Amino acid sequence: MRLVLASTSPRRLDLLTRIGAMPDRIAAPDVDEEPRKAELPRDYVLRIAIDKAHAVPRGAEEILLAGDTTIAVGRRILAKPQDEADLRRMLALLSGRRHHCLSAVCVIGLDGKARTRVSDTIVTFKRLSDAEIDWYVASGEGMGKAGGYAIQGKAEAFVRFLSGSHSGVVGLPLFETRALLESAGYALG
């Protein structure tokens, strides 16, 4: 049995290897990540993880793993920032507020069945000054990241409170991932 990671994220690969799962193959899923009209954040992140899993062809002896992470402020989905102005807007919105980091995992086993879990982590940022926002934007770290920040980097200094899965905020909730892989029959090291 072979493991396929349907993600080119170096963070997901690193996290996956922490639980003893080394993918035999890595594939880049090509999916439209645009939220649907009135789509709730939990439904959105789960749909994208499932779409990513189904977007990668799977061989008969392969187990496929895909994931997606998004940041939600109320019903608002904060995807990856489009530019520095968008990143500033996101950081200002997160400043001094509680938000949810939703991380979905989809595993398709040898039986072809899609198994899913969603991790919901509550994160609260300190109130950010304009200078802190400028510093973070200038670092370039938030570009390409859901919600405009990387908790495993400089933004960790902004976190006042976290309840849930730190690895889920990074991009792959390890508790849920391990459970899904085991339920699909994948033996972890």
134 noted as active-site residue? no
Taken in order 132, 133, 138, 139, the sign of the CA dihedral is positive
d(CA 47, CA 67): 10
**DSSP secondary-structure letter at 24?**
S
Which of 59, 43, 41, 76 minimizes the C-alpha distance to 3? 59
**DSSP secondary-structure letter at 56?**
S
Identify the active-site residue in 68, 83, 111, 134: 68
Which distant-in-sequence residues (6+ apart) come within 8 Å of 124 by Cβ? 97, 98, 99, 159, 160, 161, 162
Q: Please state the φ and ψ torsions of residue 83, each to the nearest 5 degrees.
A: -160, -175
Integer CA distances (angstroms), 87 to 45, 100, 156, 182, 188, in order: 20, 17, 16, 38, 38
Q: Alpha-carbon dihedral of residues 109, 35, 124, 84, nearest 10 degrees?
A: 120
* Residues forming the active site: 68
